[in-house]
C-alpha cells in the first residue's frame, strides 16, 4: 500500500493553533513539515508534540553551511527521529556527501533531501543570483548532484518532477511544495500545480500549507485532496 503522500506545512506563530491542527490532522495526513519559522519559536517541543500524536516530521531547515557543520546538524536531527530533513544542494557535493555519510549507519535514519530551487524563484530571481540556463535545467542539474552525492531525493517544484523522475528513476524521492488545490490563489509561489498534477508528474510526497491550515475545516480539505489522488 502506498504511503500517505500528503504533508501539511505548519507555519503559524500561535502555539494553540499549531497543536489544534496537529491534533485534527494527524490521523488524516502522512506527515507535518516544520520549517524554520515555527521551529525558531517552539523548537523540539513542536517536533516532540507531533511525534506524540503518532505522526511524522519533515524538518525543513534547509541546512547550508560548511560540510562539518551540516553533517553535525543532520546527525542532531536524525537523533530526534525526524522522518525527513533537507539541505541546500547549492552547498555542494562535499557538504551533501558528508551529511549522507554521517547518518548512513543510524537506525532509524531520516531521508535526506536536497533543496534545488525554491518554488518562489523564477527566471528573474535566477538571474539576480547568477544562475544561468532555464529553471528546469538548473533544477535537474542540482538533482543529479544530490543523487550522485548520496542523498535520498530532492525538494523540487512539481513542474520539474517529471524530468527528475525520467532522469534519476522512480526510487529517487521527489517532495513537491508549491501545490495548490484547483481555484486556490498561488500567493507567493511561482511554479505551482494541483495535487493530482504533481503526483502524476512523479512526486512521492506533496506539501500543502495555507490551503489546509487556513481553511474553516482543515480535515475536510485534507481528505478532499487525498480523495482526488486515489
* CA distances (Å), origin 88, targets 23, 38, 67, 114, 120: 31, 19, 11, 5, 15
Q: What is the pLDDT of residue 183?
A: 53
CB-side exposure of 177: number of CA atoms within 13 Å?
Answer: 26
Yes or no: say if 97 and 76 are a contact pair by the CB < 8 Å rule: no
- How many other C-beta atoms lie within 10 A of the C-beta of residue 64? 16
Query: What's the pLDDT tens digit per position in 141-170?
Result: 999 999 999 999 999 988 899 999 999 999
Q: Which residue has the higher pLDDT, 153 or 117?
A: 153
Yes or no: say if 160 and 139 are a contact pair by the CB < 8 Å rule: yes
| Alpha helix stretches (DSSP H) within 91-182 | 93-103, 123-128, 135-148, 161-168
* CA distances (Å), origin 105, targets 20, 99, 150: 36, 12, 13
Length of the chain: 230
d(CA 153, CA 191): 19
d(CA 152, CA 58): 14
Worst-scoring range by mean pLDDT, 38-47, 67-76, 128-137?
128-137
Q: What is the pLDDT of residue 129?
A: 93
d(CA 58, CA 71): 17
What the block records as the C-alpha cell of 143 is 538533482
Q: What is the pLDDT of residue 97?
A: 98
> Taken in order 179, 185, 189, 192, is the CA torsion positive or negative?
positive
The percentage of residues in the chain with a pLDDT greater than 90, rounded to a whole number, is 81
| pLDDT band at residue 1 under the 50/70/90 scheme | very low
> Taken in order 192, 225, 3, 29, is the CA torsion positive or negative?
positive
Q: How far does Cα 64 stand from its chain's mean position? A: 15
Query: What's the pLDDT tens digit per position in 6-57?
Result: 999 998 899 999 999 999 999 999 999 999 999 999 999 999 999 999 999 9
Q: Which residue has the higher pLDDT, 186 or 143?
A: 143
Q: Does the pLDDT at position 136 exceed 50?
A: yes
d(CA 63, CA 115): 9
d(CA 158, CA 193): 6
What the block records as the C-alpha cell of 103 is 547518518
| pLDDT band at residue 202 under the 50/70/90 scheme | very high
Q: What is the pLDDT of residue 182?
A: 60
Q: What is the pLDDT of residue 191?
A: 47
Among all residues, which ones are annotated catalytic? Answer: 62
d(CA 48, CA 46): 5
Give me the domains of the chain, ranges plus CATH numbers: 6-229 (3.20.20.70)
Amino acid at each position: 500500500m502506498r504511503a500517505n503522500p500528503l504533508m501539511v506545512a505548519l507555519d503559524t506563530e500561535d502555539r494553540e493553533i499549531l497543536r489544534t491542527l496537529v491534533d485534527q490532522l494527524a490521523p488524516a495526513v502522512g506527515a507535518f513539515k516544520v520549517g524554520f519559522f515555527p521551529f525558531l519559536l517552539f523548537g523540539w517541543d513542536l517536533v516532540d508534540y507531533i511525534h506524540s500524536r503518532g505522526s511524522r516530521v519533515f524538518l525543513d531547515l534547509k541546512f547550508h553551511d560548511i560540510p562539518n557543520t551540516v553533517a553535525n546538524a543532520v546527525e542532531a536531527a536524525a537523533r530526534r527521529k525526524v522522518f525527513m530533513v533537507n539541505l541546500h544542494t547549492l552547498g555542494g557535493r562535499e557538504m551533501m556527501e558528508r551529511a549522507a555519510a554521517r547518518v548512513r549507519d543510524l537506525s532509524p535514519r531520516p531521508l535526506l533531501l536536497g533543496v534545488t530551487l525554491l518554488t518562489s524563484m523564477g527566471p528573474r530571481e535566477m538571474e539576480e543570483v547568477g544562475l544561468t540556463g532555464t529553471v528546469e535545467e538548473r533544477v535537474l542539474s542540482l538533482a543529479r548532484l544530490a543523487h550522485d552525492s548520496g542523498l535520498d531525493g530532492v525538494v523540487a517544484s512539481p513542474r520539474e518532477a517529471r524530468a527528475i523522475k525520467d532522469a534519476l528513476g522512480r526510487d529517487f524521492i521527489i517532495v513537491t511544495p508549491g501545490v495548490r488545490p484547483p481555484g486556490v490563489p498561488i500567493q507567493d509561489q511561482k511554479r505551482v500545480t494541483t495535487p493530482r498534477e504533481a503526483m502524476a508528474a512523479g512526486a512521492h510526497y506533496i506539501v500543502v500549507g495555507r490551503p489546509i491550515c487556513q481553511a474553516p475545516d482543515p480535515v475536510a480539505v485534507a481528505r478532499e485532496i487525498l480523495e482526488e489522488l486515489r
